[in-house]
Structure 1
């Protein structure tokens, strides 16, 4: 994370350095245009001031363009950092949710195993075929009802997991749409 924090500072320092260099070049160009074709004399040629203004305007425009590019690079870096944070948060929520779903599924299977053991013990005490059939029907019905109820709970938990783990990504998508639709509308 420390490397990410250094990058915007480095980009700002680089932009400032580029701006200082551009201003120095502009000052050099001004000196050159004031000095004529001779040795440091002021020029009195008719096109000299127009040429100087053109060079100054070009340098100024290039300086502004460079500053704009550095600002855009900073914005892209910041936006990318936000995307990475959203993916990390979504992954964290997903992993925690899958762990919870696994615990719930394990509890479901443990309950079914315990019921099966109880059923086996009850079958050991059966004295007639009719009693065994009735016992089997009752246990099967109870196991199916419990399985359906627990499955519904697992489905709800899985849906909540999907919603919660996708929420950070959805929020970033909204930010992206808002951020990138503004220049198109403007």
Structure 2
């Protein structure tokens, strides 16, 4: 009977040792996984903060370009307005010097043609400058879009 108790005792000790080893392995593995998850989470927060910082810098850069561009457009518009007033004064003087209805209609025709040509040219110039400005405003933001697309592509691949 002593032999039976010894076997039971040995079996119990072996079972306890196996259980302890398994428990240590499970909790050790869980600890390692938790640590890895925490490290990945911290890295993700750092990456997100860095990404958002880049986004903010792009928005600020874009706003600076917009402010400078709109300032230039305002200067251009003011200058165009000034030159238009000067042309209107010169036109009024020409009309004041007219001596006949034929001369009046010829001058009116010339001024209308010149005004329309000027309006079309200035409109095209303004549109071109405005579109160029919009492209420059979008550059910093589109570069951030490219970074975001690359991050998504990398995340999907992982």
Instruction: Tell me the TM-score normalised to structure 2 length.
Output: 0.85
**Distance (Å, rounded) in 2 between the aligned partners of 1:177 and 1:116:** 54
Correspondence 1:61-100 to 2 at 5 A: 61-100=33-72
Deviations 1:113-132 (A, max 9, x none): 11110011111121111111
Which secondary structure state, in structure 2, belongs to the residue aligned with residue 127 of structure 1?
A: coil
Mind listing any 5+ residue stretches in structure 2 that lack a counterpart? 1-12
The residue aligned with 1:114 is 86
* Structure (1/2) with the larger helix percentage: 2
Aligned Cα root-mean-square deviation (Å): 1.5
- The ranges of structure 1 where at least 4 consecutive aligned residues each deviate by more than 6 angstroms after the TM superposition are none
1:138 and 2:131 are equivalent in the alignment: no
CA contact (8 A) 1:82 1:172 kept: yes
Larger relative contact order (C-alpha < 8 A, sep ≥ 6)? 2
Mind listing any 5+ residue stretches in structure 1 that lack a counterpart? 1-42
Flag the structure with larger Rg: 2
Instruction: Tell me the TM-score normalised to structure 1 length.
Output: 0.73
**TM-aligned CA deviation for residue 85 of structure 1:** 0.6
**Count of aligned pairs:** 144
**TM-aligned CA deviation for residue 184 of structure 1:** 1.0
